[in-house]
A and B are shown apart, each in its own frame.
Chain A
Amino acid sequence: MRTAVLGLLAIAALVAAGVGRSAWIPTGLGNGKIGSKTMAASTGNVPSGSASSHSVTLTWNASHFADGANVPSYVIKRYNALTNALQTTLANCNGLVGATTCTENSVPTGAWKYTVTPAAGAWRGIEGGMSATITVLI
């Protein structure tokens, strides 16, 4: 009988302790913090390129965030080599380019220069210098 009583007591104590422990629910209200990178001082590298018929293939070196990580994308701009007038960049090099090379298709006949700007979403770095003139023949 004594053994049975002790057994009951032990079980009850364990159950009670378990219930009590699981019910402790501390809470707190406040703020967490997180930081963001910056490419504000990152300048695009001057691209090199060549034309094949009406396609122009560009390559450039990666740009970096301030912490040294590569930026995820770039904006490519094309200018008239004679007037420096900004042109509309065409398919495959328009929008955000997620690589360090692209081939712009259906480029009109003319003499063109290109620039590279580091980008991530709406974030922008500094537009780099112009490439050498790339001529697209008829």
Chain B
Amino acid sequence: MSRKEPDQQAPVVQRVRVRYAKRGPLRFTSHRDFARALERAVRRAKLPIAYSSGFHPHPRISYIAAAPTGVASEAEYAELALRDRMGPDDLLKALDAALPPGLDITEAIEAHTSGLADRMEASAWRIELPGVTVEVANAAVEAFLAAETVTVTRLTKKGDRAFDARAAVVHASVRPVAGGDGERYAILDLVVRQVTPAVRPDDVLSGLSLVASLVPPVPPRVTRLAQGPLTESGDITDPLRADREHPSVGAGE
């Protein structure tokens, strides 16, 4: 007897793009962890999610350039394919309520365009450096920016990999902040281009330690503030603008 063919799943009638945040302790959520949590939240919220066909039907959700484990973010993006239409505002409310506090849906917009991933040209990162003075941080950033290339190594699954961390950095600046106990420390603001291999905030920190021996006494707290298209002046703009401005007609792309 031959195997039974799997059931066909309902077709996609609408795509919704969501922006979400990873905050507080839940910044330690890995991308895989988040994907599992989102799939379960989709079930709990009873969203009309579309499934892939086949013997292992999967909810049709795609993720775009997720922040590393341990890094907080205000600007993560995912796209949900639906089998029935649903208002993006209702989807936002239902999905956010089904996710734990700290994994928060902050925006939902119907997709009218393709190529969202390609629009993610750069990210803005905020790196808090408790225990590091503004002067020390400034000196390190100046040395880093003055360098032609800063070759850093990162341990990957294929062993140590060396690459330049300097070229991808579009902007780096330091400002002071008062800590909880009144102590002032440095905050480093970065804009880094999305390149291959990816240059992550910790790669820039490795670079700072290489060029200026900057070694934070406690682990820095990193947050992605934005990601999207990069203007010539070095600013990051809204990656969902095209979808937002599109006249809301029909479904899909």
Q: Do A and B bind each other?
A: no
User: Interface of A with B (CB < 8 Å)?
Assistant: none
User: Interface of B with A (CB < 8 Å)?
Assistant: none
